Every structure is written in C-alpha cells, then in structure tokens.
Structure 1
Amino acid sequence: MKYIISLIGLLVVFGLAYAASNNRKHIKMKPILLMVIIQLILSALLLNTTLGLGLIKVFANVFGKLLDYAGEGISFVFGGIANEDQSPFFLNVLLPIVFISVLIGIFQYLKILPFIMKAIGLFLSKINGMGKLESYNAVASAMIGQSEVFITVKKQLGHLSANRLYTLCASAMSTVSMSIVGAYMTMVEPRYVVTALVLNLFGGFIIASIINPYTVKPEEDLLDIQDEEKQSFFEMLGEYILDGFKVAVIVGAMLIGFVALMGAINSIFDMIFGISFQEILGYIFAPIAFIMGVPFTEVVNAGGIMATKLVTNEFVAMMDLAKIAESFDPRTLGIISVFLVSFANFSSIGIISGAVKSLNEEKGNIVAKFGLKLLYGATLVSVLSAVIVSIVL
C-alpha cells in the first residue's frame, strides 16, 4: 500500500509542478526520470545499507567533533552563564555556526571549496540537462549558503535571463548551507539531514526542469566564477567569524519573534475558536502529509509541523517536532525530518531577493516578482524528497 501512496505522491508533485510550468512543451523528461532514479538509489543507499549508514556515521562524527571544538570557544566566553545540566539553544545549537563558518572560510581561501564546487557542478550538468552555471550554483548553495552564493556569480547576474535566474534562486532556497548543518544534526537524526541534502540537490533540478524549462546555448554556458577579493588570511578569518556570528544572531532573533508570535496566535485562535492556529494549518496540510506517506492517524500533527516550517522557518518546526517526536511512528519521523531540511519558507524570499538586489538591482527586482513561485517550487522539492524517502523507509 505504501508504494501506491508514494506513486500517487510522485504524480501529485509532478502534476502541481506541471500546472505552474511556463513552457510545458519544452519539458525534458529523460533527465527528470534519470534524476528520480538517482534519488531513489541514493536514498536507499544512505538509509538501508551498511555502507550508507557508515558514511552518515562518519559525516555525523565529523560534525560532532566540530561541535565539540566549537563548544570550547563558547565555554570560554559564556562559561557559567547557564545552570548545570542545562542546554541553552543559542549557545549549543546556534553559536557553533561561527566555528563552522570559519572552516568554510579557510577552505574557500585555500581554493579547495571552489575546486570541489566546480568539479561536482560540471559532473551534474551532464546529468540534469541544464547549464554548468546552474549546476555549480546548486552545489555552491549547499556549501556556502543561499545568499553568499550569489557573490561568486555576480559577474554573470547581469547576463542571465529570468529563466536561468529562477533556477539559481530555486537551488538556493531548496538546499541548506554546510554552516548550519551541524545545528540541524542536534535537532533531528543526522541520517535524515544527510539524505535530505543529497535529495534536495537533485530535487531542485527536477522541479525547476518542469516549472521552468529552457535550453542554454553553448555560448551562454560559461562557468565564469567570480574570485573573492584578495585578502590576507587573518582578514578572511575575521570576516567569516563575524559572518557566522551574524547568522547565529539573526536566526536567534527570528526564533524569538516567530516562536513568540506563533504562541500568541495559537492562544488567540484557541480562545476564539477552541482550536490553535497550528492545528488549523495541520488540517490544511494533512492531505500533503498523506501523499508523502504519513499514516492517516498522524497526518494532522505532521501537517501542522510542515505548515509551521513554511510560515516561520525550519528551526521552529524542528523544535516543535522534537516536542512530539515520541508520538510519531519512526517512519513518519523520517519523512517529516527530510521535509524540514531546506530553506523553503517565506522569509527566504526576502533573503534571496535582497542578496541578488545588493549585487544587481534590476535582477533583484525580477527575483522579488517571482518570489511566491520560487517558494512554491522549493516547497515541492521538499515534498518530493519526503516522498522518495517514504518509498525506501
């Protein structure tokens, strides 16, 4: 039965993408089917094999060590601020982003990350039928972040069509940056975080190929990546330390605002209607949760968490998931966890359009115009990844 529901889920996702397509006649089915098969193989490998689980364990252990090292710096500055056996969210989940940001900066400075991003991007362009720039951008978004990635392609922005710009932005919203992966792993199982990272990369290409099909001419497909302004090593360290701290503070501020606002709205709805706002959202999103493979008895609670992620952010949703995780079937927990690992929410529209506008005002205005369509596509990527996982779990 689960395979029938998963098949229906795939058809629904593709149908919703097809309904929003701006050029249905030019949709290329061969690369789309190939990427779906790759998603199934990779998810089965990562979640159902000894090799895959071993790779995830290594990945998780690396980030575990990095979080331990980050903890030393945090303890030096903030030691004693929390009571014994307490784990303040800002200190233990958000501040380690600073150290991860520093490591990314070092690998960028040593030209290791740019080499990896270009190599993987070129390889992916052979599979997805898109341009080299689109493939590079998707990999770069997953490594350095959804706003920072546009700095590396700023020389190209002025020459990009609206179609290509949409694909670049869709990749940035569908993936998550490595600097924040460690924080996710403290909130959901690492194996689901790693699986979502891989699936979303291909899912972004799949959905963009349906919603936004186009052909890149060879003369337009130049992978001319902007080099960062030459800095000394310690200038770079200072910049990435501050950037990481800014991310931690911004996420913390957004959590304060969103959690407080959600609590107030829930209270108001409960007083007036006898049901919380999140429960209402849960019923709205329940059909989507069902086609993702969530059992009927759990679709309302799962739908509420999915909706919370969309209207607030993934951190708020992960916190809510942790509160009721024990009430979910393990398979449901895996499906929802994969869905949550992406930047697909309303606030990301402003982040991405603002990042592009800071580099090219004209292109930033174009991004703002298709912002809702961008979120629509990125949400379908999350649903597609969850459906794929539901097949192999």
Structure 2
Amino acid sequence: MNAVFLLTGLLLVFGLSWPVSFDRKQIKFKPILIMLLIQIASAFVLLNTKAGVVFIGFVSKAFGKLMELGINGVDFVFGGMENEGASTFFLDVLLPIIFISILVGILNHFKILPFIIKYVGLGLSKLNGMGRLENYFAVSSAFLGQSEVFLTTKKQLATVSPQRLYTLSTSAMSSVSLAIVGSYMTMLEPKYVVAAIVLNMLSALIIANIFNPYDLNREEDTLIVEEEKKKPSFFQMISESIMDGFKIAVIVAAMLIGFIALMNLINYLFTVIFHLSFQAVLGYIFAPVAFLMGIPLDETVKAGGIMATKIVTNEFVAMLDFKEVAAELSSKTVGIVSVFLVSFANFGSIGIIAGSVKALNEKRGDEVAKFGMRLLYGSTLASVLSATIIGFFL
C-alpha cells in the first residue's frame, strides 16, 4: 500500500507542477529521476539501516547536548524568572539558538562549513547535471538559512536569469537554518528533522526543474562565492554571532505572539459565525492532499489543518499545534507531517526572501516579489514531495 501512496503523492506533485511550468517541452526528466532515486535511497538509509540510525542518533544527541548547554547559559541569566520545574518556550527553546549560532559562526570562521557546502554541492551537480550555483545554493540553504545564503553569492545575483533566480529562491524557502534545527528537535522527532533537511535540498531542485526548465552553457555554469574582504577577529565574530542568534530568537518570538493571537482571533470569529474553527476549515481543504500523501483517511483533516497552519503562519506555530495532537495520530501521520513542517515555506518567507535579495540588488528583489506566490506554491510542493517520500518507509 505504501507504494501506491508513493505513486499518488508523486502524481499529485507532478500534476500540480506541470500546468504552471514555463516551458513543459524543456523539462529534463533524467535529472528529476536521478534526484528522486537519491531521495528514496537517502530516506531508506536514514530510517532503515544501522548506519542511518546511528547517524541520526549521533545528530540527535549532539543537538540535544547543545540545547542543554545553551539552556545552562539561559538559566544563569534568567533562572530566577522560571517556576521550579516549569518550561518556558522562549527561554528553553528559542534562546539556546544564540549558542548554536555561535557554533555556526565558528564553523564559518575556520572555513569548515563553506568547504563542506562547496564540495557537496559540486558533487551533487555531477549527479543531477544541474548548475553548480544551483546545487551550491541548495546545500548552503540547508545550513545557512533563507536570508544569509544570498550574501555568499551576491556577485552573481545581477547576472543570473529570472529562471535561475527562481530556482535559488525556491531552495532558500524550502530550507531551514542550522541555528534553529535544535529548536525543531524539541518539538519533532529528530530523525524526521534530519530526513527533511536532506530531502528538501533535492525536492526544491526537482520542483524548480519542472517550473522553470532551462539550459546552461559553460560560461553561465559558474560559481562565485563571496569572500569577506576583511575577516573579523575571532572574538568579533563571536560577538556578531551572538547578536545574530539573539535577533533570530526575538524575531521568532515576535512572530509567534502575533500569529498565534491572530489565529486565535480568526478561530474565534469562525466559531461564532460558522460554528467551526478556521483550522478545521483548512483541515478539510487540505485533507485530499494529505490522503494522497499517504496519511490514513480518518486523520487527514487533523493533519491537513496542521499543514495549512504552517503555510498561513509559520512552522513554529504549526509545530506547537502539532505537539498537542501528535499523540492521537498514527506513527505514519506523525512522520509525514513532521517532514512537511521542516521548511520555511509560508507567506511570511516571501517578504523575507524578497527583502534579502532587494538589500543586495534592488531590481532582482523586485523580481522575487513579483513571483512570490509562485515561489510559495513551488516550495509547498517541495515539502509535499519530501513528506510523500518519507511516508513510503513508514
């Protein structure tokens, strides 16, 4: 039965992508098939082999320890503000981002992370035949996040075609930031967070390949990674990383306050007027999609509501809602929804990505804003694709 839902999920993604393709005749099915096979093989290794289980266990323990160490720093400053035994989301989930941000900064400072990103991207380009810039962007987005990744290739923003700019933006929206992965793991099973990061890199490229197929000549297939003209000192880098991590934590907290309050207001109005919550309405709308992805029929409305909440608000709001109902759902539904949630595909990200590009190149930023809805649509389909593939192994 899993094979049937894998097929229906793939047909769903292709069926929703094909009509909006700029040039259906130019779609290259070979690289798409290669990337799909890599995704299936990766999901199998991560979930069904000893090496995969050991790897995920190592990553989980590593981030768990990092979060614990981060909380130690938080407790030193804010410990007296918490009740004994109580857990505060801002203090225990968001503020440890500051510590992980420092580690990301250190890995960047000593060129460890750029080395990994560059050569994994180059290796990936050999397998799927797509451009080096596209593959570099897909890999770096998984580590750096949707805003920071554009800084590393800002020299090429002015010269890439609109089709390539869409591909880069899709990768950025389909990714997550390494700095907040630990926070995700406090709300979702770590194995699904790791699997989603791996699968989303390729899902974004597959969707972009269908939406915007194009050919590259040798002159166009270049990769120019921006180096800092004046490298900051080690302790200056630490200070900047601390402030970057703090900004992320505060921004996420502000968005949670606003979106959760707004969602409660909309739910209240829908309940008063229609005697049905807004999230329940969204659940019914997304139920067919959830079913075709492999979610059991009696759980599609709940799962669909969580998935829709993520698109309308953000992944943190959806994860908090998901934690409340996860115990009532099957392990298969939990896995599929978890993978779907691990990305930045939501309405707010359109403005973030367009603003990030505009800060570097105003004209290209305006282009991103124009295809913003198309970008959200493609990134959401990338999440559907990743979640469908994980469902095949559950």
In structure 2, give the amino acid aligned to 1:111. K
CA contact (8 A) 1:133 1:222 kept: yes
CA contact (8 A) 1:278 1:308 kept: yes
Corresponding residue of 2:386? 385
Corresponding residue of 1:182? 182
CA contact (8 A) 1:294 1:335 kept: yes
Helix, strand or coil at the partner of 2:188: coil
CA deviations on 1:94-135 (whole Å, 9 max, x unpaired) are: 111111111111111111111111101101111222111111
Q: How far off its partner does 1:50 sit?
A: 2.0
Corresponding residue of 1:212? 212
For 1:28-177, what aligned pairs fall within 5 Å after superposition? 28-177=28-177
Are 1:318 and 2:328 an aligned pair? Answer: no
Are 1:195 and 2:195 an aligned pair? Answer: yes
Corresponding residue of 2:335? 334
In structure 2, give the amino acid aligned to 1:215. D
CA deviations on 1:8-34 (whole Å, 9 max, x unpaired) are: 111110111111110111111111111
Q: How far off its partner does 1:2 sit?
A: 3.1
CA contact (8 A) 1:128 1:205 kept: no
In structure 2, give the amino acid aligned to 1:137. F
Residues matched between the structures, number: 393
CA deviations on 1:49-87 (whole Å, 9 max, x unpaired) are: 222111100011111111111112111111111101111
Q: Distance in 1 between the 2:100 and 2:217 partners?
A: 38
Q: Distance in 1 between the 2:376 and 2:127 partners?
A: 24
Helix, strand or coil at the partner of 2:392: helix
Q: Distance in 1 between the 2:377 and 2:149 partners?
A: 21
In structure 1, give the amino acid aligned to 2:250. V
Corresponding residue of 1:21? 21
CA deviations on 1:260-303 (whole Å, 9 max, x unpaired) are: 11011101110111000000000000001001100110000000
For 1:345-364, what aligned pairs fall within 5 Å after superposition? 345-364=346-365
Q: Distance in 2 between the 1:102 and 1:189 partners?
A: 24
Corresponding residue of 2:232? 231
Q: Distance in 1 between the 2:222 and 2:331 partners?
A: 45
Q: Distance in 2 between the 1:305 and 1:293 partners?
A: 15
CA contact (8 A) 1:152 1:228 kept: no
Helix, strand or coil at the partner of 2:345: coil
CA contact (8 A) 2:5 2:392 kept: no
Structure 2 unaligned blocks of 5 or more: none
CA contact (8 A) 2:74 2:91 kept: yes
TM-score, normalisation: structure 1: 0.99
Q: Distance in 2 between the 1:160 and 1:174 partners?
A: 20
Q: Distance in 2 between the 1:100 and 1:325 partners?
A: 27
CA contact (8 A) 1:43 1:195 kept: yes
Percentage of matched positions with identical amino acids:
60
In structure 2, give the amino acid aligned to 1:112. I
Corresponding residue of 1:309? 310
Higher alpha-carbon deviation: 346-355 or 33-42: 33-42
Q: Distance in 1 between the 2:100 and 2:47 partners?
A: 26
Q: Distance in 2 between the 1:128 and 1:311 partners?
A: 32
CA deviations on 1:324-351 (whole Å, 9 max, x unpaired) are: 1111011111111011000000000000
In structure 1, give the amino acid aligned to 2:25. K
CA deviations on 1:127-168 (whole Å, 9 max, x unpaired) are: 222111111111111111110010111111111110111111
Q: Distance in 2 between the 1:269 and 1:90 partners?
A: 29
CA contact (8 A) 1:40 1:392 kept: no
Q: How far off its partner does 1:392 sit?
A: 1.1
Helix, strand or coil at the partner of 1:392: coil
Q: How far off its partner does 1:3 sit?
A: 2.0
CA contact (8 A) 1:138 1:172 kept: yes
CA contact (8 A) 2:138 2:202 kept: no
TM-score, normalisation: structure 2: 0.98
In structure 2, give the amino acid aligned to 1:340. L
Q: Distance in 2 between the 1:56 and 1:345 partners?
A: 27
In structure 2, give the amino acid aligned to 1:299. T
Q: Distance in 2 between the 1:240 and 1:222 partners?
A: 30
For 1:249-264, what aligned pairs fall within 5 Å after superposition? 249-264=250-265
In structure 1, give the amino acid aligned to 2:173. M
Helix, strand or coil at the partner of 2:80: coil
Helix, strand or coil at the partner of 1:213: coil
Q: Distance in 2 between the 1:219 and 1:176 partners?
A: 31
Corresponding residue of 2:293? 292
Q: Distance in 1 between the 2:267 and 2:2 partners?
A: 33
Helix, strand or coil at the partner of 2:130: coil
In structure 2, give the amino acid aligned to 1:382. S
Higher alpha-carbon deviation: 45-54 or 101-110: 45-54
CA contact (8 A) 1:356 1:364 kept: yes
In structure 2, give the amino acid aligned to 1:349. I
